[in-house]
Amino acid sequence: MATQQAYTSASPKNHDAYTGKQKPYWVEIQLVDEEGKAVANMPWQAENSATPGGYEKELKGTSDATGLIRIEPRYGSELRLFIDAQPLAKEMEQRSLRVSRELNDSTVRKDAEENGHIWHYAVIGELCRKLPDIEQRDGEPFPPPFHFPADKSFVGFKIRTNELEQRHVIEICPFRAWELVLHHQKEYSMANAINLGAAASLAYADDSMFDTASISRFFLTQCQDLFKLPQLRKGTYITNTLVHDVPFSERYHPPVFMDTSRDTSGGYDENGEEKPSIVGNGDTQLFYAYNNDKMIISWRGTAGLYDIGTDLVFRPVNTETCEINKVQCATLFPKGKVHEGFWNGYSRIGAKFKEKFEILNDLSERLDLFICGHSLGGALALINSAFLKDYNPVFYSYGMPRTFTRDSIALLSDLIHFRHVNDNDPVPAVPPEANVDNYLYELWGPVGGVLGGLWSSLIELPAWQIKQWGDCFWHHGNPVVFLTTTQSREWKDCKRTYPVAAGCITLKSRMPVKTKLYLVPALAEKVAQEAGQDQKGFINSLTQEDLAKYFPEGKNPNRGADLTFGDHFMTAYMPYINNKLLELIDDKGLSKDKHFTEHKENVKKFVEQMSEESFEIPKNESERNINFLTLETMLEKTLLSTLKIKNGKDSLERFAHYGEEEIENA
């Protein structure tokens, strides 16, 4: 076998493996990690059939600088090798995983077999006699089933009689766990987009209930199963998350759930599960999951009739709350108002789970905080982010309705928030951009909440075009827009028949090729700040005036009138993020597995059409599309933060290796 590089987490060295003079009975075992680096200085013991009777000499030692163990027993019977659990677990926590999780892709295996050695793959439980010191947590499978399989652990590594007088290479799986790649930063990140999108989707799990089992399975089982990537699964929809491996001691704690629709006073069913409440506690849910340095809070969106009622009651009310967030009574904002239904939903869960909220606040103070939510969940998450704004949360929302009025939004300018809007998703268009604080709210009590909203939408909204109606509902956050972009042809048709000639009329028709672009206006400012003199021409056409025109502050971009609820579900948001991430990884040359996405092909055809038909495309439309295409090219910047972390390149390559293009909404 080729010379192995010795490696420990403390100091690497280089030595040739010592083979020595062959004796009648001998075996060599070389311990390496998934990158082929030696696992040195590991105390070991070996036993055979003669050991219990004292006929065999004591067989023990320490792996040398190349990870090599040489055993020379007196008797040629089957051997069992044991590595001391604590030093092995401590050392393997410091090693990293190779990119591919397929055993057939092991470079260690290829090298060993080419040199005539016997290759094995083992998790640490197969090499230990007992458990190392591992923190046991309530609600977590124990011992960790991936690293300590029930049928193979604590019995030693077996070397049969016919396998003596050979070298065995044991590739040891690092003692690690998966962590979602997240970046606590002001700039937009594709890693944050896909992983917080996955967390927002997990809050639904099963539409019929708040499926805590599925969420626990993701963080406690999938994030510990190193043979495959943790996946978001909803019906037939499956997508991978972007993860990197961390020491097992830094794994996720069991998720914590809050659900106002459950009432433990009703007792438990035969499986020990809480029975759903049949009393009026409302229907608000969230979960949070955390590890050593990060916490994710995910709020669930609209999933039932009670939630729809919460959505519809959008009377603006003052932000006064009681018995939430460790205080008896507080006003979130000195001025401005909030959507009544969302505020009531948030207040219900805060009142019911005061102790859990106190723990959540304590964790928020010391951990990097990430908050997410889709639809109604995004609105609740924004309120939560406003309460926790002193802890600097990073908030990503998807298909979120307007939640606060303009005066409240002005007080949240420092909150990091990227608000994803999918083309013709109708939910970000409600409540309307109008003063909905009108007399109908007071006239008929709760019913007036709905009637007042209808009045605002149907009567006052047209007047909004010519008059500002006070403190109207506004959007918060930097928009991220999945926008269908079209091109049209414009020409003049003139009647030239004689004896009487007529005038000309302008005709316009839409061209066949359209494309859906992934637009993050905030990237333009970042690129402008970083641009050198030679780059300024590249972004010169994308001015602040253009951005304000296409993406007005506090409002939605002009997305047309063909609104469809098919664009609202998370299964309509996630494919664009997944596909764009695959495309960016390919463009960076980070993947051996090329993904020629439909989006990339459409953009190419769209640009060709622009070039071929440039003389007939209206100027304002041409300028708009050039700006949009320029803006989308800036998305390459969103991978830089992932590439800067340890093994970040491996994480992106692994995502691409196992990723597939998802079907996007037409």
pLDDT at residue number 429: 84
Tell me, yes or no, whether 666 lies in a domain: no
Q: Please count the helices (runs of H) and the strands (runs of E) in the chain.
A: 20, 33
pLDDT at residue number 43: 98
**Domains held by the chain: number:** 3
Residues 489 and 463 in one domain: no
Residues 467 and 478 in one domain: no
pLDDT at residue number 157: 95
- Which residues, 6 or more positions from 167, have their beta carbon under 8 angstroms from its beta carbon? 1, 27, 28, 29, 30, 117, 118
Which residue range forms the structural domain that includes residue 568? 180-433+472-658
CA dist 421 and 186 (Å) reads 19
Residues 35 and 150 in one domain: yes
What is the Cα Rg of the chain in Å? Answer: 31
As averages over each run of 10 residues, the pLDDT of the chain (666 residues) reads 47 44 79 97 94 87 97 91 98 97 95 97 97 94 96 94 95 98 98 97 70 90 97 85 98 94 49 43 85 97 50 59 46 80 87 91 96 95 96 97 89 94 86 52 40 42 44 86 84 61 68 90 70 39 60 64 71 94 91 75 90 83 86 94 96 94 77
Residues 309 and 375 in one domain: yes
Whether residue 147 contacts residue 124, with contact meaning beta carbons closer than 8 Å, is answered with yes
Residues 142 and 33 in one domain: yes
Tell me, yes or no, whether 158 lies in a domain: yes
Tell me, yes or no, whether 664 lies in a domain: no
CA dist 648 and 245 (Å) reads 10
Tell me, yes or no, whether 210 lies in a domain: yes
Residue finishing a domain among 414, 449, 471: 471
Residue finishing a domain among 133, 151, 174: 174
Residue finishing a domain among 133, 159, 174: 174
Residues 579 and 458 in one domain: no
Tell me, yes or no, whether 568 lies in a domain: yes
CA dist 614 and 630 (Å) reads 17
Tell me, yes or no, whether 424 lies in a domain: yes
pLDDT at residue number 457: 41
- Which residues, 6 or more positions from 268, have their beta carbon under 8 angstroms from its beta carbon? 274, 275
Residues 455 and 483 in one domain: no
Residues 463 and 319 in one domain: no
Tokens of 54: 């004292």
- Sequential DSSP letters for 290-356: E-SSEEEEEE----SHHHHHHHH---EEE-EEEEETTEEEEES-SS-EEEHHHHHHHHHHHHHTHHH
Beta bridge partners of 337: 318
pLDDT at residue number 579: 93
10 Å CB burial of residue 174 (0-12, 13-18, 19+) is buried
Residues 559 and 541 in one domain: yes
Residues 462 and 570 in one domain: no
Read off the amino acid at residue 556: N
pLDDT at residue number 316: 63
* Interstrand relation of 43-47 and 394-398 (parallel, antiparallel or unpaired): unpaired
Tell me, yes or no, whether 85 lies in a domain: yes
Tokens of 620: 């304002």
Whether residue 224 contacts residue 163, with contact meaning beta carbons closer than 8 Å, is answered with no
Tell me, yes or no, whether 445 lies in a domain: yes
